[in-house]
Chain A
Amino acid sequence: GQSLEQPSEVTAVEGAIVQINCTYQTSGFYGLSWYQQHDGGAPTFLSYNALDGLEETGRFSSFLSRSDSYGYLLLQELQMKDSASYFCAVRDGRNQGGKLIFGQGTELSVKP
């Protein structure tokens, strides 16, 4: 089966850096994605890693280590608007099918 583990909540102050970890277990691996969800809103795609290493998109970076089945999302220069839930997700499946499975989410609280 598939499973993803991430911390349930993280707190940081404005301007700081925070890292949200994700470990996964899947029968087939097609990359790790990250999504952001503000309170009850639609989740939005942030980043995707198919290969090992760091992907940078502005203040957000995402890292993947396939050998460790581990990835993280790094948020820099935190702003109050970054307070949200962050989900890692993996695809399990093949041939134009499969499941897009999400972790339970990490609630990030940014304090002034």
Chain B
Amino acid sequence: DSGVTQTPKHLITATGQRVTLRCSPRSGDLSVYWYQQSLDQGLQFLIHYYNGEERAKGNILERFSAQQFPDLHSELNLSSLELGDSALYFCASARRGTDTEAFFGQGTRLTVV
């Protein structure tokens, strides 16, 4: 157990809908990263938050947004969902923004039908 909690584990929703994925980092970790992993693909970096502030963005679609709250949990919001958004979404946390050792949650498997 990495100490990072993601909910829900599975999500099935229809095209055009909006969903929110939640991530609770390890106790004391200030950094949260979000990744998308499509079938048999690598981990695509979406966004990085450090202590409540956005620090870096990857190729995140405009339909996607995220935030990190004062208690350091983070949410990833996906809207106007398309079939191609079906993927595993991982969050990872790290103690500091410069750490290369990140701890991953078990992921949320999103299926858009």
Residues of A within 8 A of B (CB): 30-31, 33, 40-45, 48, 87, 89-91, 93-105
CB neighbours (8 Å) of A48 from chain B are 100-101
Known: A87-B42, A100-B102, A105-B42. A40 touches B55 (CB 8 A): no
- On whether the beta carbons of B106 and A96 are closer than 8 Å, the reply is no
Query: Shortest Cβ distance from B101 into chain A, in angstroms?
Result: 5
A104 and B100 in contact (CB under 8 A), knowing A42-B107, A97-B56? Answer: no
Name B residues whose Cβ lies closer than 8 Å to a Cβ of A. Answer: 2, 4, 31, 33, 35, 41-43, 45, 48, 50-51, 55-56, 58, 88, 90, 92, 94, 96-98, 100-107, 109
Asked if A100 contacts B33 (CB within 8 A), the reply is yes
A48 to B94, CA, bound (A): 14
Q: How far is the CA of A87 from the CA of B107 in the complex (A)?
A: 17
Majority secondary structure, A binding face: loop
Q: Quick one: which of A94, A95, A100, A105 contacts B45, CB cutoff 8 A?
A: A100
Contacts of B48 in A (CB 8 A): 93, 97-100
* Nearest neighbor of A99 in chain B, beta-carbon distance: B56
Report yes or no: A45 in contact with B102, Cβ–Cβ below 8 A: yes
Q: Do B88 and A45 touch across chains, with their CB atoms under 8 A apart?
A: no
Q: From known contacts A42-B105, A45-B102, A87-B42, infer whether A98 and B88 are also in contact, taking CB-CB under 8 Å.
A: no
Q: Verify A44–B56 contact, CB threshold 8 A.
A: no
